[in-house]
Structure 1
Amino acid sequence: LVQAVMDVNLQGEVVRIQGDEFWHMTRVLRLGVNDRVELFDGAGGLVEGSIQKVDKNGSDVELLENARLIAPQGIQWHVFAAFGTLKGGRADWLIEKCTELGASSVTPLLTERCHTIAENRVDRLQRLVLAAVKQCQRVHDMSLKPPLEIHDLPLAVSQSKLAFLASAEAPPVLSVLPKCSSEEESGLLIIGPEGDFTEEEVGVLKAAGAVPVGLGPCRLRVETATISLLSALMLWSDSAHHQEAQQQR
């Protein structure tokens, strides 16, 4: 997969590939004239093309078909995680795996115990997202949102019927999920920082409608809790979507 801006979507038209994507095509994948590629725009647009020309500045790709628009499938999960203090590549791992698992977006959450995240770190994470999107062959980008103060989160929670808060002393997540509707279009996952949320922060989120869920008997790191909860919810919603599709046949 190669990400490209597709202003045209008619068979026979030519799209110019430059910059990082051109470097990746020619230096990493070693693609040349007549090789076929799939172009995507990050918003569900997908089209097959054939490389017609390669020069020092870019590649020309001829579209072999009209672009197809692929709609997102199932519940779109939005992750709010307080990972700004993670070190040693742990935040990179969190973002990469959220992308591979299919999260719709990730928002760095700023809390009393995790009150900042460096701008240059966000730029690096953006590049990791693009690499992971292509590696796992997603046609919809995962959006890395600007950092959000926790006092702004309750509004989003109150507007969602599926909002889950990772909590050490809460009922197991699998015991809560069957009681929830799988017909919603989107849902929220909320994971606290190292040291967890304060009692006041937890109270505010619960009052807004967040459902506390447990992730097992062991104390988990921020990135482990994030991936554990996202995996459980993705598998649950994917199974519900599959069952509904089978029933409609």
Structure 2
Amino acid sequence: LVQAVMDVNLQGEVVRIQGDEFWHMTRVLRLGVNDRVELFDGAGGLVEGSIQKVDKNGSDVELLENARLIAPQGIQWHVFAAFGTLKGGRADWLIEKCTELGASSVTPLLTERCHTIAENRVDRLQRLVLAAVKQCQRVHDMSLKPPLEIHDLPLVSQSKLAFLASAEAPPVLSVLPKCSSEEESGLLIIGPEGDFTEEEVGVLKAAGAVPVGLGPCRLRVETATISLLSALMLWSDSAHHQEAQQQR
């Protein structure tokens, strides 16, 4: 997969690939004239093309078909995690795995115990997202949102599927069967190392977030994030599959 801006989507048109994507095609994948590639725009658009020309500045790809628009499937999960203070590549790992697992977006959450995230770090994380999107062959980008203060998290009250990772809450699998799988989107909220303050937990619960437990062991931020996202993705995927089977 190669990400490209597709202003045209007609068979026979030519798309110019430059910059990082051109470098990846020619230096990493070693693609040349007449090789086939799939172009995607990050919004569900996908089209097959053939490389017609390679020069020092870019590649020309001829579209072999009209672009197909692939709609997102299942519940779109949005992750709000307080990971700004993670060190040693742990935040990189969290973002990469959220992308691979199919999260729709990730928002760094600013709390009393995690109150900042460096701007240069956000730029690096954006590059990691693009690399992971291509590696796992998803045609919808994962959006890395600007940092958000916990008290500015209005979406909780608007979502029927909003889950708050909490050490003393009922196990997540005991809560999920009671929830509807017909919702289009849901939220995951994970606190910082040291957890949310009691006041922050109260604000989230009052807004409608459902506390869920992730087992008997105390988990790191990135472990809790991936554990909860994995459980919710598998649950919603299974429910979506069962509904599709029933409709046949």
Q: What TM-score do you get using the length of structure 2 for normalisation?
A: 1.00
Q: Write out per-residue CA displacement over residues 115-152 of structure 1, whole angstroms, 9 at most, x where no aligned residue.
A: 00000000000000000000000000000000000001
How far the C-alpha of 1:172 sits from its partner, in A, is 0.1
Show the counterpart of 2:119. 119
Identity %: 100
**Structure 1 runs of 4+ with >4 Å offset:** none
Q: Which structure 1 segments of 5+ residues have no match?
A: none
Q: What TM-score do you get using the length of structure 1 for normalisation?
A: 0.99
Count of aligned pairs between the two proteins: 248
- Tell me, yes or no, if the aligned pair for 1:14 and 1:62 is still in contact at 8 Å: yes
- Tell me, yes or no, if the aligned pair for 1:154 and 1:205 is still in contact at 8 Å: no
Show the counterpart of 1:77. 77
**Superposition pairs of residues 6-85 of structure 1, within 5 angstroms:** 6-85=6-85
Show the counterpart of 2:131. 131
Q: Write out per-residue CA displacement over residues 61-94 of structure 1, whole angstroms, 9 at most, x where no aligned residue.
A: 0000000000000000000000000000000000
How far the C-alpha of 1:107 sits from its partner, in A, is 0.1
Show the counterpart of 1:175. 174
Q: Which structure 2 segments of 5+ residues have no match?
A: none
How far the C-alpha of 1:229 sits from its partner, in A, is 0.0
Counterparts of 1:83 and 1:21 in 2: how far apart (Å)? 29
- Tell me, yes or no, if the aligned pair for 1:2 and 1:134 is still in contact at 8 Å: yes
- Tell me, yes or no, if the aligned pair for 1:114 and 1:193 is still in contact at 8 Å: yes
- Tell me, yes or no, if the aligned pair for 1:15 and 1:60 is still in contact at 8 Å: yes
Counterparts of 2:47 and 2:186 in 1: how far apart (Å)? 30
Q: In structure 2, the residue corresponding to 1:103 is in which secondary structure?
A: coil
Counterparts of 1:62 and 1:15 in 2: how far apart (Å)? 6
Counterparts of 2:160 and 2:215 in 1: how far apart (Å)? 24
Q: Are 1:193 and 2:198 counterparts?
A: no
How far the C-alpha of 1:153 sits from its partner, in A, is 1.1
How far the C-alpha of 1:231 sits from its partner, in A, is 0.0
Q: Write out per-residue CA displacement over residues 14-37 of structure 1, whole angstroms, 9 at most, x where no aligned residue.
A: 000000000000000000000000
- Tell me, yes or no, if the aligned pair for 1:154 and 1:204 is still in contact at 8 Å: no
- Tell me, yes or no, if the aligned pair for 1:82 and 1:222 is still in contact at 8 Å: yes
Q: Write out per-residue CA displacement over residues 85-104 of structure 1, whole angstroms, 9 at most, x where no aligned residue.
A: 00000000000000000000
How far the C-alpha of 1:154 sits from its partner, in A, is 4.2
Q: In structure 2, the residue corresponding to 1:225 is in which secondary structure?
A: helix
Q: In structure 2, the residue corresponding to 1:85 is in which secondary structure?
A: coil
Counterparts of 1:101 and 1:89 in 2: how far apart (Å)? 18
Counterparts of 1:96 and 1:204 in 2: how far apart (Å)? 29
Q: Are 1:225 and 2:224 counterparts?
A: yes
Q: In structure 2, the residue corresponding to 1:108 is in which secondary structure?
A: strand
Show the counterpart of 1:237. 236
